[in-house]
């Protein structure tokens, strides 16, 4: 004997093929059906875990080391996640012992005044960092074969602007911060890329260029690497990064017949 | 004037009204980030005790943000209505709280009082109030606005249908819009946050909703939530603009960071009113606000975020808007850390806006890095329903796939109607009945092949 239908279905399921939005969910009385409450709860749980799970720095470093990169780990002035969420200003500065250690170790690990430094930062989603930073670095190798000798700094409790201080200490010409973005309900693992030329403390978002939503379901590694390499070359030509570079890179993209290059997102950094 | 309070052996002094208000404010992360919050719980209570003794009239003499530097202050003080203020002119902040809770304060007397109150007075009294006080007084206020339907009538609750899509895909937007309408949502406005600011894209969206609205004769208004300058350009190009949207804040400097001034808003308001597209009224402005915006733009003048939020309402009321929406949990945990702070802020904003005579709604929402979840949203939704909120937001399944945050769902609105017996705007209610979407009591009807919107869904 089959059970009578308890949930009122929505006879417009077809709309689900037109959007990722949660349409045609049906209802139990006037409320959400159990299956949707569980589906939503799972998505929220994954997003929350992405925010709160600490980045496993040792594991990430050893993976990067095996892949051939020279890394070093630093920490911001935000002691833990709870402080990090309340004090974005502390997430933008290195802890004093980290700054000292970075300055001391740098000469033994990397050449002085590198053209490019990479900061791999946890940001608001360690899941994004752990999943996508290494594949993205490898996707960048065809553009930057010297990447194996350049600084790759793993940073925790970090905001985008932490890269300014790291780049400044290393004397880097440009810094790229690869950072976990604020997780969405259906995208807990988006990586953001921020390019800053002549990094030094005190710069603002206007000095950066951003590539957003890097993940296999969003902007795939190869496309992200191509866009980033393009921006890095553009910033080198222009002598600066930021708002001025955006228009320049778009017009170059068109000149090169690369019309399908997605528009660069100018979303504010974490 | 100095503000002091002695508790036991300890004497607390507060240099000025701005500091006193900040120290008296309920704890929240944004005020700590700004360095203006009380240093201890005792200091917070000392500030409240001192604040309770401040005469309301003092707020007309001591500005929180300097008059010379700030057009919002000038607007607030220059437009103050002394006659309307008279019934409470002799009261202190503490006495004003008692008066608001008393039977002397009813819908009519509160409506008459609104032009006599400044945002700072309203913010001050809110800091002495518990959540239930904020609810009780707000529930006494009545603010009715009109465009193509009537919003804010007693026993009514409206919902903004928010059919956002990450790439503004017309079919994706239409899918969410039809889903919402079939759930009886959309009387406050059908409002899209566009992914792009390009004028052709915005005009396309405006036409998309307007053609649909005309074809099915829907008694509601549409809005594409783009910058006011874009909307002015759209009006110039002859696009079907019902409402002018703009985010605003409580200082001239934060508004400058949004690219707006009172003069620009005046221009937009006049342009939209001149179109005369409203059928039952001509309230044409839709404002969004939220605690913390001034701090995030480094434009806070050392004032607390709740007082500055109330000042944004001081600017909003100049335009007799159709809708004012406090987007309470969108800004993130550095301003409102957790569910408790978001709930408190939502109640404060609704109370302050209503007392100042504004048609307040709330985007009851949170981001995934805040310490909040759906249970907190249920709590705030219920409390604001009890407080008589004019409208809330409706997003499919509470998940906004464009803005990446969680708001309230179509189902949430049905829940609130069911437990609090809140009905939709009367014109929209009639339309739903004519369309066979809901019955005469407002209850959703089962849908089948004869539903015209389902036929439309099949053609998308």
**Parallel/antiparallel/unpaired status of strands B145-146 and B10-14:** unpaired
- Tokens representing B283? 């309230």
Closest CB from A11, A182, A187 relative to B448: A11
List residues bridging with B365 in a β-sheet: none
Contact B397/A22, CB-based, under 8 Å? Answer: yes
**Coil, strand or helix: which one is B447?**
coil
A183 touches chain B (CB under 8 A): yes
Give me the pLDDT at residue B166, please. 87
Q: Is the dihedral of CA B407, B411, B416, B417 positive or negative?
A: positive
Cβ contact A215:A200 at 8 Å? no
Contact A18/B414, CB-based, under 8 Å? Answer: no
Which stretches of B282-332 are assigned E, i.e. beta strand?
285-289, 323-327
Closest CB from B175, B179, B368 relative to A51: B368
Question: In the block, which residue shows the tokens 């890329």?
Answer: A193
Looking at the structure, give the CATH architecture of the domain made up of residues A66-247. Answer: 3-Layer(aba) Sandwich (3.40)
Q: Which residues contact B139 (CB under 8 A, 6 or more apart)?
A: B386, B387, B388
**Coil, strand or helix: which one is A257?**
coil
Closest CB from B176, B417, B447 relative to A23: B176
Tell me which H or E stretch contains B5.
strand B3-7
Closest CB from B171, B369, B444 relative to A51: B369
**A12 min Cα distance to partner chain B (Å):** 7
**B452 min Cα distance to partner chain A (Å):** 12
* pLDDT in single tens digits along all 270 residues of chain A: 567 789 999 999 999 999 999 999 999 999 999 999 999 999 999 999 999 999 999 999 999 999 999 999 999 999 999 999 999 999 999 999 999 999 999 999 999 999 999 999 999 999 999 999 999 999 999 999 999 999 999 999 999 999 999 999 999 999 999 999 999 897 889 999 999 999 999 888 888 998 988 999 889 999 999 999 999 999 999 999 987 775 343 434 433 333 333 333 333 334
Contact A25/B397, CB-based, under 8 Å? Answer: yes
Q: Rounded to an integer, what distance in angstroms lies between the CA atom of residue B268 and that of residue B18? A: 32
CA angle A11, A13, A19 (to 5 degrees): 145
Closest CB from B175, B369, B444 relative to A15: B175
With CA atoms as reference, report the closest residue to B373 among A19, A125, A82, A37: A37
Give me the pLDDT at residue B187, please. 98
Shortest CA distance from A90: residue in chain B: B33
Give me the pLDDT at residue A260, please. 34
Which residues numbered 296-355 in B keep a CB inside 8 Å of some CB on A? Answer: 332-334, 337
Which residues numbered 368-387 in B keep a CB inside 8 Å of some CB on A? Answer: 368-369, 373-374
Give me the pLDDT at residue B390, please. 98
**B331 min Cα distance to partner chain A (Å):** 12
Contacts of B396 in chain A (CB under 8 A): 19, 21-23, 25
With CA atoms as reference, report the closest residue to B408 among B325, B297, B350, B323: B325
Give me the pLDDT at residue A246, please. 55
Contact B397/A23, CB-based, under 8 Å? Answer: yes
Shortest CA distance from B33: residue in chain A: A87
DSSP A150: S
Question: Where in chain A are the domains?
Answer: 66-247
B415 touches chain A (CB under 8 A): yes
For residue A94, CA distances in Å to A75, A80, A160, A210, B428 come to 6, 13, 12, 22, 56
Low-confidence ranges of chain B (pLDDT < 70): none
Give me the pLDDT at residue A47, please. 94
Cβ contact B191:B159 at 8 Å? no
Closest CB from A11, A40, A86 relative to B33: A86
Which stretches of chain A are assigned E, i.e. beta strand?
71-75, 116-121, 152-156, 174-180, 191-197, 208-214
Question: In the block, which residue shows the tokens 């036409």?
Answer: B207
Contact A12/B179, CB-based, under 8 Å? Answer: yes
Rg (CA), chain B: 22
Shortest CA distance from B337: residue in chain A: A86
Q: Rounded to an integer, what distance in angstroms lies between the CA atom of residue B298 and that of residue A159? A: 18
Contacts of B385 in chain A (CB under 8 A): none
Contacts of A48 in chain B (CB under 8 A): 368
Cβ contact B76:B314 at 8 Å? yes
Give me the pLDDT at residue A267, please. 36
**A158 min Cα distance to partner chain B (Å):** 14
Q: Rounded to an integer, what distance in angstroms lies between the CA atom of residue B124 and that of residue B76? A: 15
Closest CB from A8, A31, A36 relative to B415: A31
Contact B334/A86, CB-based, under 8 Å? Answer: yes
Give me the pLDDT at residue A1, please. 55
For residue A181, CA distances in Å to A47, A51, A112, A202 come to 11, 9, 30, 22
Closest CB from B399, B409, B414 relative to A185: B399
* Interface probe, candidates A5, A9, A17, A19, chain B, greatest B C-beta count within 10 A: A19
Q: Rounded to an integer, what distance in angstroms lies between the CA atom of residue B351 and that of residue B118? A: 13
């Amino acid at each position: 004997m089959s059970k009578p239908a308890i949930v009122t279905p929505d006879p417009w399921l077809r709309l689900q093929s037109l959007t990722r939005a949660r349409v045609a969910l049906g209802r139990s009385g006037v409320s959400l059906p159990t299956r949707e409450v569980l589906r939503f709860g799972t998505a929220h749980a994954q997003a929350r875990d992405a925010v709160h799970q600490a980045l496993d720095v040792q594991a990430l470093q050893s993976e990067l080391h095996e892949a051939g990169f020279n890394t070093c780990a630093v920490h911001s002035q935000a002691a833990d996640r709870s402080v990090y969420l309340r004090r974005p200003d502390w997430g933008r500065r290195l802890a004093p012992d980290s700054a000292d250690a970075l300055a001391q170790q740098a000469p033994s690990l990397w050449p002085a005044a590198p053209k490019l430094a990479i900061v791999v930062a946890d940001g608001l989603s360690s899941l994004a960092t752990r999943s996508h930073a290494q594949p993205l670095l490898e996707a960048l190798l065809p553009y930057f074969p010297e990447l194996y000798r350049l600084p790759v700094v793993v940073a925790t409790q970090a905001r985008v602007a932490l890269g300014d201080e790291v780049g400044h200490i290393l004397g880097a010409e440009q810094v790229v911060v690869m950072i976990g973005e604020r997780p969405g309900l259906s995208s807990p693992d988006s990586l953001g890329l921020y390019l800053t030329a002549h990094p030094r403390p005190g710069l603002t978002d206007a000095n950066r260029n951003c590539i957003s939503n890097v993940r296999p379901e969003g902007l795939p590694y190869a496309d992200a690497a191509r866009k980033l390499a393009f921006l890095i070359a553009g910033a080198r030509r222009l002598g600066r990064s930021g708002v001025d570079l955006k228009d320049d890179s778009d017009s170059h993209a068109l000149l090169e017949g690369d019309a399908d290059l997605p528009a660069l997102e100018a979303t504010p950094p974490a | 004037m100095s503000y002091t309070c002695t508790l036991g052996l300890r004497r607390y002094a507060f240099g000025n009204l701005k500091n006193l208000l900040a120290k008296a404010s309920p704890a929240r992360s944004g005020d700590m980030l700004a360095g203006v919050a009380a240093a201890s719980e005792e200091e917070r209570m000392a500030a409240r005790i001192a604040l309770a003794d401040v005469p309301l009239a003092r707020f007309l003499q001591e500005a929180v943000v300097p008059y010379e530097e700030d057009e919002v202050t000038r607007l607030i003080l220059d437009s103050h209505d002394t006659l309307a203020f008279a019934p409470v002119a002799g009261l202190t902040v503490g006495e004003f709280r008692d008066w608001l809770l008393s039977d002397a304060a009813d819908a009519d007397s509160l409506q008459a009082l609104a032009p006599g109150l400044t945002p700072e007075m309203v913010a001050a009294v809110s800091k002495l109030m518990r959540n239930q006080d904020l609810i009780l007084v707000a529930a006494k206020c009545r603010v009715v606005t009109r465009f193509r339907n009537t919003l804010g009538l007693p026993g009514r609750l409206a919902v903004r249908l928010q059919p956002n899509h990450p790439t503004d895909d017309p079919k994706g937007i239409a899918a969410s819009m039809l889903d919402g309408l079939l759930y009886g949502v959309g009387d406050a406005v059908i409002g899209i946050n566009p992914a792009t600011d390009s004028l052709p894209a915005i005009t396309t969206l405006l036409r998309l909703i307007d053609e649909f609205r005309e074809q099915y004769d829907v008694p509601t208004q549409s809005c594409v939530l783009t910058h006011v300058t874009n909307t002015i350009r759209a009006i110039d190009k002859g696009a079907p603009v019902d409402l002018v949207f703009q985010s605003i804040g409580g200082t001239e400097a934060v508004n400058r960071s949004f690219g707006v001034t009172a003069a620009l808003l005046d221009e937009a308001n006049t342009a939209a009113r001149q179109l005369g597209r409203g059928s039952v009224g001509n309230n044409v402005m839709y404002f969004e606000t939220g605690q913390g915006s001034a701090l995030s733009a480094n434009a806070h003048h050392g004032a607390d975020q709740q007082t500055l939020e109330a000042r944004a309402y001081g600017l909003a009321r100049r335009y007799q808007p159709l809708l004012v929406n406090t987007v309470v949990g969108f800004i993130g945990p550095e301003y409102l850390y957790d569910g408790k702070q978001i709930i408190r802020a939502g109640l404060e904003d609704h109370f302050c806006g209503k007392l100042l005579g504004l048609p307040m709604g709330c985007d009851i929402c949170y981001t995934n890095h805040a310490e909040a979840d759906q249970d907190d949203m249920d709590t705030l939704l219920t409390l604001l329903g009890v407080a008589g909120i004019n409208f809330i937001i409706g997003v499919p399944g509470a998940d906004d796939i464009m803005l990446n945050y969680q708001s309230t769902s179509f189902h949430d609105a049905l829940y609130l109607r069911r437990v609090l017996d809140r009905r939709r705007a009367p014109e929209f209610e009639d339309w739903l009945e004519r369309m066979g979407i809901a019955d005469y009591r407002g209850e959703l009807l089962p849908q089948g092949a004869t539903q015209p919107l389902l036929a439309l869904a099949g053609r998308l």
